[in-house]
Amino acid sequence: PTFNSLFYFISQRVKPLNVLISTIFGSLKVGSKIEINCQSEGSRPPARISWRKGLEN
C-alpha cells in the first residue's frame, strides 16, 4: 500500500493564564525601598516582564 504523510507546524501566541504581583510590605513611606515580585504562568512564548517607575521610559 502507498502512504501519504502530511505534517503541519502551528505557532501560537498565548497570553499568560495567571499573573501574580506580590510584596511583603503593607504601607509605604516616601523614599522607602520596596521589593515587588511579578510572576506569570502559561504564556507562549514566555512573558517578558519589565518595570517602570512613574512615567519613565
Per-residue pLDDT tens digits for 22-46 = 988 777 788 888 888 999 999 999 9
Report yes or no on whether pTM surpasses 0.75: no
Cα–Cα dist 39/12, whole Å: 21
- Whether residue 12 is predicted with pLDDT greater than 80 in this model: the reply is yes
Q: Nearest 10 degrees: CA dihedral of 41, 19, 11, 7? A: 40
Arithmetic mean of pLDDT over the chain = 85
What's 30's DSSP letter?
T
- Whether residue 57 is predicted with pLDDT greater than 80 in this model: the reply is no
CA 37 and chain centroid, separation? 11
